[in-house]
Amino acid sequence: MAIPAQPASDGSLDHKARSAARLGAVQALYQMDIASTPLDDAVAEFVEHRLEHGDEGGEMADADAAHFEDVVRGVVREQRELDRQVNGALAKGWSLARIDSTLRAILRCGTYELRRCKDVPLKVIINEYVDIAHAFFEGDEPGVVNAVLDRLGRDIRSGAGAEHGSGGKS
C-alpha cells in the first residue's frame, strides 16, 4: 500500500504527491464511470496497486493516498451538488451529460476541491486540473476546465482565494 506523503518541513504536503493524487482521483472516477467499478473496489485498487507505483514508466511520484481517497469519496458523496454547480457554470447549451467522461471527472474533482480544500489556493486547484486536462486532451478541453473552475471558484469562495496566488499549499 502506498504511504501518504509526509509533510514538508514547512508543514505543507509534497506538491508532487498531491498532483499524483489528483491525477489518480480523475482516473479512478473515470474507471468507475466507464466500467461501473464500485467505489470501494476502485479506491482499494488505486491505493494498493497504482498510486504507489505511478504510471508504467515510473515517471509519476508516489501519491498522497489520503488526499486521493478524500477527493474520490468526496466526489461520489457530493456528486449531485457538484454536478448542479458544474452544469450551472458550463456554457449555455452544455451539460455534464454531453461531455467526455474524463472531462467530467476532472471538473467534478476540481469543484470538490474548491468546495472542501479551503487551505489550497484557488489558483493552485485550477492550474492542477488544467494540467491534468492537458495530459488527456489537445483541444479546447483545458480551456473549458480553466473557465469552469475559475467561474466556480469565484462563486464558491466569494472571491477569497483568488488573491492568495499559487504560493500556498498544493
pLDDT digits (tens, 9 = 90+) for 101-157: 999 999 999 999 999 999 999 999 999 999 999 999 999 999 999 999 999 999 998
What domains appear along the chain, each with residue ranges and CATH number?
Answer: 15-157 (1.10.940.10)
CA gap 72, 166 in Å, rounded: 23
Residue pair 5/13 in contact (Cβ under 8 Å)? The answer is yes
* Banded model confidence at residue 23, pLDDT cuts 50, 70, 90: very high
Amino acid identity, position 19:
S
Q: What is the pLDDT of residue 128?
A: 97
Percent of the chain past pLDDT 70, that is, above it, reads: 79
Residue pair 121/164 in contact (Cβ under 8 Å)? The answer is yes
Q: Which cell numbers in the block locate residue 119?
A: 487551505
* Banded model confidence at residue 165, pLDDT cuts 50, 70, 90: very low
What are the beta bridge partners of residue 7? 13
For the chain, the average pLDDT equals: 83
pTM, 2 dp? 0.81
Q: What is the pLDDT of residue 115?
A: 96
